[in-house]
Structure 1
C-alpha cells in the first residue's frame, strides 16, 4: 500500500486548466460552464485524451503539477485554442442538427464532443464552410446509426476487421508503453473514509481522495510480483497487456486483467444495461484499450479509489474471528462473513469428505478477498461503460452489495455440490 509523502512545490492541476481555459475566451463558451470553466466532460472527453494526453505526458497526469511544468501545460492548452474554438462551433451546429432530427436520447456532450473535435481537425472552423450544416446533419445521422447497432455482432465485426486490427494493436502497444508511474501524494485517508461511509459518508473526504489520486497511487503495488494475482485480478505473476481478442464466452471469462479487449466489452453487453448510455462501438473499443493500461485498469479516479477501499475493507477477512478490524467497514463485512453457516460447514468437514468440494471453491470461501475484488472490478467497469458516476453516498452500498453478492453465490454453489453428494450445509 502506498503511503503519502510530500511532493514539494506544485500547483493544483484543476486550477491551472481553468486559468489557461479562461485565456481562450468566448470562442469556447459551448464547452464551458456558467462560471467560464471547462465542463467536466470537456476535461474528460477533450482536454485529457486529445490535448494534454497524460498517458503520453505523465508530467500532466497528477492532481498537482510540478512548477517546472506549469507553463508547458498552460501553453499546450492555449496552442490548442483554435482547434477547441472550432470544436465548440461544430458542437453548436451539431446540437442544432440533432434537434432538427428529433434525436433526444443520450447526453449530447458524450455523443458529439469527440466527433466535433475530429470535424475541427478535418474541416477547420465551420463558419468558413458553405456546407457545414449538412456535415453536422451527417454527423448526427452517423452517430445515431452507430447507436442503433451497438451489438455483440457489430463489436466482433469491428474487432476482426483486418485494417482495424492493425490500428488497434498499435494503440494497445502505445497505451501500455506510455503508462505513467504513480505520483507521490499526501496521506491517503482511506481508513478514515471506511470508518464513516456506512453511516455518515463524507463527501468532502471522498472528493479529496479522488482529487489527490489516491486510487491511482494505491495501484502501484499491482505491478509487484504476485500482488494482483493474490487479489484475484490475474492468473499471471504480474499484469500484462491484454490481447485484442476475437471471441468471448461468459461462462469462461478469465480474471479481469487477463481478459481480452473483446471479452471486457462482451461482459458488459451481456449484462443488463441502458444501451443509450453507452458509447458507439469504435469509441468503446478505443476507450477500453486506454482503460486496460490505466491504474486498476479503470478509467475514472473514483473507480480506482473504490477499488482501494474495497481492498482495505476486505483485508484480513477469513474464517478466523480473533482479528482486530482495521475500520468500521472492515468490521461490518467481517461480521457478515462470520454469520455465514456455510463457511463453518466447510471448516467442519473432515478431509476425506471435503474432497467433494472443489479446491478452488473451498479456497475462495476461506479467502474471500479475491472473488470480492474480481466482482467489485466488474461492477465498477460496467458503471464506467454506462457513464455512471460514483458519489460518496453510493460507496457503502457498492462495497456491501458486492460482498453480499459474492457470499450468496458461494452459498448457492456449495449447496448444489453438497445436495448432489447427499450432504447438508
Structure 2
C-alpha cells in the first residue's frame, strides 16, 4: 500500500485576504466621501470616471511613480490608509476642479467648439485652475473662455492662430509694418476735428455729471446720447497728448504713448499696459477669450483694422467706447484715497464698493513688511484707479473686436462690473499673500 500523498502547506502560497484591500475599492470609498461636489468628475455609480483616474487622480494626486506602494491592484492596510488620506486631503482641489470643468464645458458650448473630448482636453487644466485660483469666482466666464480658446488654438485653426502665422510671414509682416508706420505718421490729432469742435464744447462737465448721476438707475440714455453725439469722448482724449497724462492714468509706462510694434508673441501673465502693447498683443488679449465664429473677417483684415484703431482717440474705434472711458476716468476719481466730495451717484457707489473691502483696509493699515503683502501689491491697492482704467479699456476694446455695441442701459453695469472684477482680483491676491506671509512668519518663529 502506497504512502499517503503529502500536500504542501497552503499558508505560504497566499497572504490572508483580510491583510490587503483592492485599490479600486479604496479609491471608490474615498471618492464617495468627497460628496456631490465632484459629480462632474464621477460616473453614474458615483465612482471617479476612468479619465478622472487617468488624468487627475493618478498623475496629480496619488502619484504612483513616486509612491510605488500605492500602485498595485491590492494594497496593504497602511497603503490603503495613505491612499485614502491623499484623496481626502485633495478634496477641496478636486471639488474646485469639478466646478471649473462645468465652467469650461459651458464656455466650449458658447464658443461652438466641438472637436475633441472635453474630459481629455480640460481635466488637467481644471485641476491646475483649482490649485492656482481656487473655485470659480466672479470672472469665471472670462477665465474659462480664455482657457478653452487657448486649448483650441493648439489645433491651429483659430482666428488668432491665423493672425500669428500671418505676422510670422516675412513678406506679410513687412507689408503690414509699412502700413502701421504710415498710419501712425498720418494719425489725426487727439482732439476733435474742427467740424465737431462746437458740438464737443457743448458736452460740458454738467452733462458728464448728469450721465454719472443717472446711469446707475438705467435712466442715463439722454445725457449719454448728448455725449456721444457731441464726440465728448474723442475731445477728452486730447489730454492724453499732454506729457505724462496717459501714464498717470495707467495706460502706458511712457510719458507719451508710443507707436506700437506689430509683434507675433504674447503671454497672458506678462501683458504690457494697454497703450504699450503690440498689435498682436492687443488682439491676443481680446481674442484669447474666443472670437465669434461669424466674425466675418480674415486675419489680414483684422490686423489692418487694429492698426487703424491704435491711431484713434483713446485707441478705441467707437465713440460710445470713448465716452465710456471718459465716464470711467471721471467716476474713478472717487477711488483716490482722501477724496471727500462725491458729486454723483456713480462716484458714491464706486467709492462705497471699494472702501468697504476689509482686505484692502487691512493691507493699507498694517505697517509695510509685516502684513505679508508685497509692496507691489500694496501699491496696486493705493493706485487702484490706474488698475480700474486699464481693465475698463480692455473690456471696451474686447467688446469692439467682438462687435458688441454698448447699449446706454449697460454703461453702469460695465463701470461697476470693472471695479467688481478688480476687487475680486485684489481680494484673492491679498488672501494668498497674507496666508503665505503668516506661514513664513510661523516657520521662522518655529525655527
TM-score range, shorter chain: 0.5 to 0.7
Are the structure 2 counterparts of residues 390 and 347 from structure 1 closer, same or farther at C-alpha, using a change threshold of 3 Å?
Answer: same
What is the CA deviation profile of residues 311-337 of structure 1, one whole-angstrom value per residue up to 9, with x for unaligned ones? Answer: 0010141343x6101321011100111
Instruction: Compute the displacement of 1:259 (Å).
Output: 0.5
- Matched with 1:187 is 202
- Checking the alignment, whether the CA contact within 8 Å between 2:287 and 2:398 is kept in structure 1 is no
CA distance in 1, matches of 2:439, 2:366: 10
- Checking the alignment, whether the CA contact within 8 Å between 1:210 and 1:301 is kept in structure 2 is yes
> What TM-score, normalized to structure 1?
0.62
- Matched with 2:276 is 258
The answer to whether residue 396 in structure 2 is matched with residue 388 in structure 1 is no
- Matched with 1:362 is 378
2:265 to 247, 252, 261: 247
1:168 to 162, 173, 176: 176
CA distance in 1, matches of 2:376, 2:298: 38
1:153 to 152, 161, 166: 161
What is the CA deviation profile of residues 220-271 of structure 1, one whole-angstrom value per residue up to 9, with x for unaligned ones? Answer: 1111111111111111111010000021111110001001001111112211
1:348 to 358, 365, 387: 365
Could you list the structure 1 runs, at least 4 aligned residues long, displaced by more than 4 angstroms after superposition. Answer: none
- Matched with 1:217 is 235
Instruction: Compute the displacement of 1:301 (Å).
Output: 0.6
Are the structure 2 counterparts of residues 230 and 278 from structure 1 closer, same or farther at C-alpha, using a change threshold of 3 Å?
Answer: farther
Q: CA RMSD in A?
A: 2.0
Where does 1:170-319 land on structure 2 (aligned, <5 Å)? 170-181=178-189, 182-183=191-192, 184=197, 185-188=200-203, 189-277=207-295, 279-319=297-337
- Checking the alignment, whether the CA contact within 8 Å between 2:250 and 2:273 is kept in structure 1 is yes
- Matched with 1:337 is 354
- Checking the alignment, whether the CA contact within 8 Å between 2:335 and 2:385 is kept in structure 1 is yes
The answer to whether residue 430 in structure 2 is matched with residue 414 in structure 1 is yes
Q: Which runs of 5+ in 1 are unaligned?
A: 1-104, 106-147
- Checking the alignment, whether the CA contact within 8 Å between 1:150 and 1:281 is kept in structure 2 is no
> What TM-score, normalized to structure 2?
0.59
SS of 1:245 mapped into structure 2? coil
Are the structure 2 counterparts of residues 278 and 268 from structure 1 closer, same or farther at C-alpha, using a change threshold of 3 Å?
Answer: farther
Instruction: Compute the displacement of 1:385 (Å).
Output: 0.5
Q: Whose RCO is larger (CA < 8 A, sep 6+)?
A: 1
- Matched with 1:142 is none
What is the CA deviation profile of residues 185-222 of structure 1, one whole-angstrom value per residue up to 9, with x for unaligned ones? Answer: 22322111001000042323222211211100101111
- Checking the alignment, whether the CA contact within 8 Å between 2:364 and 2:378 is kept in structure 1 is no
Are the structure 2 counterparts of residues 351 and 252 from structure 1 closer, same or farther at C-alpha, using a change threshold of 3 Å?
Answer: closer
- Checking the alignment, whether the CA contact within 8 Å between 1:176 and 1:293 is kept in structure 2 is yes
Q: Out of 296-305 and 160-169, give the one that drifted further.
A: 160-169
CA distance in 2, matches of 1:265, 1:192: 34
Q: Which runs of 5+ in 2 are unaligned?
A: 1-111, 113-155, 441-447
CA distance in 2, matches of 1:286, 1:162: 16
- Checking the alignment, whether the CA contact within 8 Å between 1:228 and 1:238 is kept in structure 2 is yes
